[in-house]
Structure formats: structure tokens, C-alpha cells
Amino acid sequence: MAAQTVKASVLHGAKDMRIEERQLPSLAAGDVEVAVKATGLCGSDLHYFHHYRNGDILVREPITLGHESAGIITAVGPGVTALKVGDPVALEVGQPCGQCALCLEGRYNICREMRFRSSAKSYPHAQGTLQERIAHPAAWCHRLPESVSLEFGALVEPLSVAQHAADRAGLPTGSTILVLGAGAVGLLCAAISKVNKAKVVIADINEDRVRFAVEHGFADASLVVPMKRPETIADKLEFAKEVAEAVKNTKVGGEAVGEVTATFECTGVESCLQSAIYATGPGGKIMIIGMGNPIQTLPISAAALREVDLVGVFRYANTYPRIIELLASKNPLLPDLSKLITQRYTGLENIEKAFEMAAKVKDDEGNLVLKVIAQL
């Protein structure tokens, strides 16, 4: 197939989004062409949009954002037999080397040669999915059954983060879980925990978000964390202990939950990780999911002396088939994920508006902003 021209949303600087044409390369062996139909906007995309960087990662050339995506196969390259034109697929957008020791043991998410769409970590950047069509390896396109919509196909990516965190935690069924942060990722971690029959307490500074979590079955109980900003290390740790005690005293079924089996830390905020250490029981685990300040002061002895493990979680590996199966199963323990999709924008010309909305807590009508979907 000859090269084609497609339209793409391209970021040239902070809040400088433009619609441009680019060449779609001819399909190589093993590749497919996908018309991107639904893309969820992620926190990392928001950092790039607002700051033209994500933490220490600087954008070094114009970049197309978007990586939580699903679409329709429009063409197949030589050697592709498992997919056909018209198939709906969820896109796993990371492309590891497939040959290093990490890849061979199944931990391809931390492959040193990983090229991940919409991330500026590698150079030239791996362009994202907010364009009309992309060429992508068939091996990283996962067919969706008829019962799973393209919007839910776009949720497979953030759900995979939650599933990977659960995989890394390896907790027994019926554990008591604390989720810190009631944004989209925190809610999805809570959802996966509910599927695993856990008791879930969710905490956030935003009362509306934790109320949403309980009302829609993502959590059993909630805690609103006070908006305090202690300055000294001693005051910070004292505040963290206060939050941890509030967690332990939170009641589920009329009984205080006490120390939790594990904490899923989804904020990246220093005080939250400090609180997680104090709230998690001996032998427990803290799953570090949120990306925040890279240098933090932590009460390490409070963790080490009780063998509380701090476990890093980076993206996901080997999760897509299981998440798609979960979505297709209509498991009654899985909360209604359609409630998470709170705003939708259609067309490349509205991508900038979608990013502006995704940065808000509530829209102009007073509705919560949790997951914004861009439809093409």
C-alpha cells in the first residue's frame, strides 16, 4: 500500500496545538492500519499539553499526544493473518525491543528500548494516537468482542495500569485496600480491587470525587483528606500520621478497617506516600502508581521495621487480553465504568478544548471531570 496523507493533532509548545497533515508510512510486514476512533486523555498527556514536558522529560520536537485508544482496522500489511479489515481493536501503544532479558521474561514494560506513543522519552518521539489513522504492529492490536465498545476499548489502557498494580501486589482475595487519589486511575484501581473482592477505602482532598466512588460502587467507604500544607518535616510526618489514623478509623459495615493490607498510591504527592506507610499494616504493600515529585522525604524505618514493601508500578505488561475478557464478562463485581466517562469531544478541531476540560475538576454545568474522551 502506498503512503497516504492523514490529519493529526500536533503539539508545538505549551498549549500550542495545531492540526497538520503528515505522511502515513506504507505498511511494513506485520503492521496494520488503524482508524483511531476513541482516545482517553491521560495525566501525562495533560503535562505535555500544559508544560511541553512531563517531569524531567522534555519535548524535543512537535509531538502528537494520545495513547489510551481504540479503533477500527482499515488495512493489513504482509503476513498479518490474525486481524482483518473492519476488526475493532484496543491499541497497546508501547513497542519494546522484544529481545532483551526483560522482554524475554515478560517484563517488557520496563524494556530500556521501549518506544511508547505520546511519550517524549525516546527520540525521535513515538507519535501518539490523536490522528486520523496510524500504522501499528498487529501484535500490539487486541481485537475487541462485539460486547465491548470502542470507548471501553480506550479504557483498556488505564485499566491495564490498575491490573498491573494488582498483579505486582499479589494480594489474597478479600484484602482491605486503601486507594489514595480518586481520579480516573485511582477509581480504576478501586474497581479492579472490587473485582478481587477487596474492601476498599478511597481518600482524596475532593469530597465530590470520593462521594462518587462510594455512590457508584468503586469503594466501600471514603475519607476526605484535609487541605493542610505543613512545612517542616516533623509537621509533615505528624499530618501523615493523622491521615493514617483517620483511615484506620474509617468504618465499613459498622467496623473500623484498621491497618490496611495494601495501599494503592495514585497521586504522587509526598504526604500521601507518607500516610500510606503509616496506614499499611505489617507485611503489607504500598503500590507506587502516581508520578509526582521524584525526590521525597519518607519515614523509611516505619516501613522497613514492619516489612511494609514499597513497590513501583510502571505502565503494564501482559494485561490487555485479561482486561478485555473482564469487560466482556460483565462481571457483577465490576463497577459501571461508563460512569467514568464524563465528557466527550468530537473531531480533531476540538482536541484542544478536550485538553482544557481534562484539566478541570468540574465542567461549566458543575459535573465532575473524570475521564475525557476524544472521538474521531
Name the more confident of 291 and 319: 319
What mean pLDDT comes out for the span 291-299? 90
Q: How far apart are CA 244 and CA 230, in angstroms?
A: 16
Q: What's the pLDDT band for 55 if we cut at 50, 70, 90?
A: confident
pLDDT at 3: 67
Residue with cell 499539553: 49
| All residues at 6 or more sequence positions from 34 whose CB lies less than 8 Å from its CB, including other chains | 71, 72, 73, 74, 89, 91, 133, 134, 135, 136, 141
What mean pLDDT comes out for the span 342-365? 97
Query: Is pLDDT at 284 greater than 70 in this prediction?
Result: yes
Chain length of the chain: 376
Residue 123 and residue 73 in contact, taking contact as beta carbons nearer than 8 Å: no
pLDDT at 376: 95
Q: How far apart are CA 218 and CA 189, in angstroms?
A: 9
C-alpha cell recorded at residue 355: 485538553
Tens digit of each residue's pLDDT (9 = 90 or more) over 211-247: 999 999 999 999 999 999 999 999 999 999 999 999 9
Going along 87-165, which residue ranges are E strands? 88-91, 94-95, 115-116, 133-137, 141-143
Of all residues in the chain, what percent carry a pLDDT higher than 90? 95
Tens digit of each residue's pLDDT (9 = 90 or more) over 182-216: 999 999 999 999 999 999 999 999 999 999 999 99
Strands 94-95 and 115-116 turn out to be antiparallel
- Indicate the SS3 state at residue 274: helix
- Indicate the SS3 state at residue 297: coil
pLDDT at 1: 54
Residue 372 and residue 344 in contact, taking contact as beta carbons nearer than 8 Å: yes
Helix 233-248 to helix 270-279 angle (10° resolution) is 50
Q: What's the pLDDT band for 292 if we cut at 50, 70, 90?
A: confident
| All residues at 6 or more sequence positions from 365 whose CB lies less than 8 Å from its CB, including other chains | none
Q: What's the pLDDT band for 263 if we cut at 50, 70, 90?
A: very high
Query: Is pLDDT at 56 greater than 90 in this prediction?
Result: no
Which value, to the nearest 10 degrees, does the dihedral of the CA atoms of residues 56, 62, 67, 73 take? -160
pLDDT at 152: 98
Q: What are phi and psi of 10, to 5 degrees?
A: -125, 130
Query: Is pLDDT at 122 greater than 80 in this prediction?
Result: yes
Query: Is pLDDT at 274 greater than 60 in this prediction?
Result: yes
Q: How far apart are CA 138 and CA 281, in angstroms?
A: 44
Q: How far apart are CA 353 and CA 92, in angstroms?
A: 25
Number of Cβ within 10 Å of residue 196's Cβ equals 17
Q: What are phi and psi of 14, to 5 degrees?
A: -55, 120
pTM score of the predicted model:
0.96
Residue 308 and residue 282 in contact, taking contact as beta carbons nearer than 8 Å: yes
Q: What's the pLDDT band for 293 if we cut at 50, 70, 90?
A: confident
Strands 221-224 and 251-252 turn out to be unpaired
| All residues at 6 or more sequence positions from 149 whose CB lies less than 8 Å from its CB, including other chains | none
Q: How far apart are CA 216 and CA 163, in angstroms?
A: 20
pLDDT at 233: 95
Name the more confident of 55 and 12: 12
C-alpha cell recorded at residue 228: 493542610
3-state per-residue secondary structure call for 3-21? CEEEEEEEEEECCEEEEEE
* Dihedral sign computed on CA atoms, order 324, 330, 333, 336: positive
